[in-house]
Amino acid sequence: MLITPLLKANDKTEVFQLQAIVLPNLEICTVEALYIRLDDDCFLDYEQNQIEFKPNGKLSFDTYFNAFSVDKWKNYTSVKAIHFYLKFKGKFRIKLLNLGQFSSSPVLVSQKILEHQTLYEECLFSDIDIHAYQGLLYLELEALEENCLFTGGWIGTTTELDEQKTPKIAIVICTYRREAYVQRNVQALRSTLLNDSQNNFEIFIIDNGRTLKEFNHSCIHVIPNKNAGGSGGYTRGVIEVLEREDEFTHIIFMDDDVIIDPEVVKRVYSFQRLINSKTLCLGGSMLKLDTKYIQHENGAIWDDGTICLKPDLDLREVENILLNEVEEYINYNGWWFFCFPLTVIDRDNLPYPFFIKMDDMELPIRLQYQIITLNSICVWHEPLENKYSPLINYYLRRNELILKSLVSDEFSGIQAAKQAFKFSIREAFCYRYKNANLVLKAVNDFLAGPTYIKSIDPEQKNLELISLGEKPVRNSIQQFIQSKYQESVEQSETTLHRWFRLATLNGHLLPLFLFFSDTALKSKGYRIAPIHQYRPVNVFRAKTVLYYQPTTREGFTVQFSRIEFFRVLWSAIVISWKLLLSFPALKQQYRDMRPEMTTLEFWKTYLNLKH
């Protein structure tokens, strides 16, 4: 149970759990170095969820999930001192160590030799003043005899009993026809968080696909919703919570297709229970699902462009765990996992109707959220480069223009026109003419103004867009050759070649006899390029190109077309010119109408909730 007092000093205080020691497990993650560090005389038994020791076997918890982040807890919560509890059998030398932010080696804080003939839970170190330390506090165990065993532990603090400070968190999951993912995550959360009488959590599943069945649990709510994208799904979740705002203190936004350890949600609860500021938001890091020890992002900054913070860190390394502790300016966090108090949102300040993309940036920037991250608060998510949809081109380009209009005073008509021209022509350079037209459609829809954005049916609009872009497929007909793909990934060019390529509009001004033949798979005229991170040089003087994603085995084929290119070029010139002339007035219109388009009244109409 999450907040049941484990030690009661008197009628006014309890020992409250801050974080449990967690071990790797087969369902969530088996990268041991994220949780524990073992030598050869220790054995992790996955089936029994315990660690067995030979004499002199050593176990250390200076890891991403099990070290205690001193600075965040002392700077943002009321925690002053902590206690360490372990459950073990046998004779151990147990050390409490501190590794400072800029230390080259750990410092011994305390040490004990303890022995129990049977499995026993004991408070090893109590009242450790965290204000005396920086960086990480963690335990190290050394077995001093045969058949020693470790089965678990936790870190707690003594706190006053105050029911008024007890949070209640609404977990809002937005989904669209991903039943298997939702079932898996809800089952994990249900068995861990909803299995007691504490009533600290409820789960709201916003079903944009309207395909999910009820879970037959009073704290799990499946809410069919109009498909207005992630923006509409998460907003619907907020609306549901605001209708019971006296019951809830916080909301967690969570993607449907992530893997999460329920202990992460428990730690968020503990942090929010003891937090000093009633407006502080807690962002979850995204770790890569295909390389579970690599961090994709630990918070982010949007400032006329995106800056991912601490990307590509190997979290098995303790120096990177310490680097994660360094606080940076954050003005938004991805909604794959984001916790915020109800005090920072209200009926007149809801998300903007972007459908997808930019909603997680615009809301916290508009409302000036204070956001921090914390080691171990994370989810695993499929790398964004593994997800390809032609719709992304449309929503990304349209919404980027809207976002910059709303929040950037410096963004000008010249910059907007350059942006529209650049992104459409780059797609056309790469023979992705359908995608180029999607970019131009995005700009056209931006030019139609906020009244148009307000009036569209998002569900019908999305269905219309699906048919317009290059749609990747998975089948045996894809003529994929790894060596050709690798050639594109590694391809480089001289400055002279680049200028020649640009002067010929990436070959669209060259006569056909200068193109390579594509009559055979080995021909230079048949190229294979990445579906993401592709470059115009990859297709230069080719006739046929297969864009391919090896991890998903999906791809689509495009062919050189002079006619399609010049259609795109002409449209890009016309649309960019229109954008240049009309941008100042449009920018003001978007700003003037934003308050109207982020109200409860607007969203109830937009989602067809008025009966």
Q: Which tens digits make up the pLDDT trace of 467-499? A: 888 888 876 567 888 989 999 999 999 999 999
Q: Which of 59, 63, 66, 64 is nearest to 90 (CA)?
A: 59
| DSSP structural state of residue 335 | T
pLDDT at 152: 97
Q: Is the dihedral of CA 363, 365, 369, 375 positive or negative?
A: positive
**Do 372 and 252 touch, CB atoms closer than 8 A?**
no
The Cα 371–Cα 341 span in angstroms is: 11
Q: Which CATH architecture best describes the domain 164-386?
A: Alpha-Beta Complex (3.90)
For residue 591 the two structure tokens come to 């700003």
The Cα 261–Cα 35 span in angstroms is: 12
Nearest 5°: the CA angle 124, 129, 132 is 125
C-alpha dist (Å) from residue 476 to 215, 531, 547, 553, 555: 38, 17, 15, 9, 11
**Do 11 and 35 touch, CB atoms closer than 8 A?**
no
The Cα 475–Cα 477 span in angstroms is: 5
Summarised one tens digit per residue, pLDDT across range 79-121 is 999 999 999 999 999 999 999 988 889 999 999 999 999 999 9
The Cα 491–Cα 527 span in angstroms is: 12
Q: Annotate 587-611 with b (16+ C-beta within 10 A) or e (fewer).
A: beebeebbeebbebebbeebbeeee
Q: Which of 275, 376, 280 is nearest to 324 (CA)?
A: 376
The Cα 393–Cα 420 span in angstroms is: 12
**Do 51 and 120 touch, CB atoms closer than 8 A?**
no
| 159 contact partners, CB below 8 Å, separation of at least 6 | 13, 14, 15, 16, 78, 274
Stretches in the chain below the pLDDT threshold 70: 1-11, 161-164, 196-197, 475-477, 611
pLDDT at 371: 98
Read off the amino acid at residue 382.
E
**Do 515 and 543 touch, CB atoms closer than 8 A?**
yes
Helix, strand, coil fractions of the chain, as percent rounded to 5: 35, 30, 35
Q: Quote the longest CA-to-CA distance of the chain.
A: 90
Edge-to-edge order in the sheet of strand 526-530: 526-530, 544-549, 554-559
**Do 340 and 171 touch, CB atoms closer than 8 A?**
no
| DSSP structural state of residue 332 | B
Q: Which fold has domain 13-160?
A: Spore Coat Polysaccharide Biosynthesis Protein SpsA; Chain A (3.90.550)
Nearest 5°: the CA angle 343, 349, 354 is 130
For residue 208 the two structure tokens come to 């944009």
For residue 372 the two structure tokens come to 């921090």
Q: Which of 317, 358, 417 is nearest to 63 (CA)?
A: 317
| 180 contact partners, CB below 8 Å, separation of at least 6 | none
Q: Is the dihedral of CA 406, 407, 410, 411 positive or negative?
A: negative
For residue 571 the two structure tokens come to 């449209």
DSSP string, 546-611: EEEETTTTEEEEEE--HHHHHHHHHHHHHHHHHHHHHHHHHHHHHHHHTTGGGSHHHHHHHTT---
Say how far residue 400 (Cα) sits from the centre of its chain. Answer: 19
**Do 555 and 549 touch, CB atoms closer than 8 A?**
yes
For residue 37 the two structure tokens come to 């560090």
Give 498-515 as a 3 state SS string: HHHHHHCCCCCCCCHHHC
For residue 69 the two structure tokens come to 């982040």
The Cα 424–Cα 575 span in angstroms is: 11
Could you identify the residue written with the tokens 């890009």? 572
The Cα 120–Cα 553 span in angstroms is: 51
The Cα 426–Cα 445 span in angstroms is: 20
Q: Annotate 293-310 with b (16+ C-beta within 10 A) or e (fewer).
A: bbbbbbbbbbeeeeeebb
**Do 281 and 373 touch, CB atoms closer than 8 A?**
no
The Cα 186–Cα 212 span in angstroms is: 12
pLDDT at 479: 84
From-to residues of CATH 3.90.550.60 in the chain = 13-160, 164-386
The Cα 122–Cα 99 span in angstroms is: 24
**Do 542 and 562 touch, CB atoms closer than 8 A?**
no
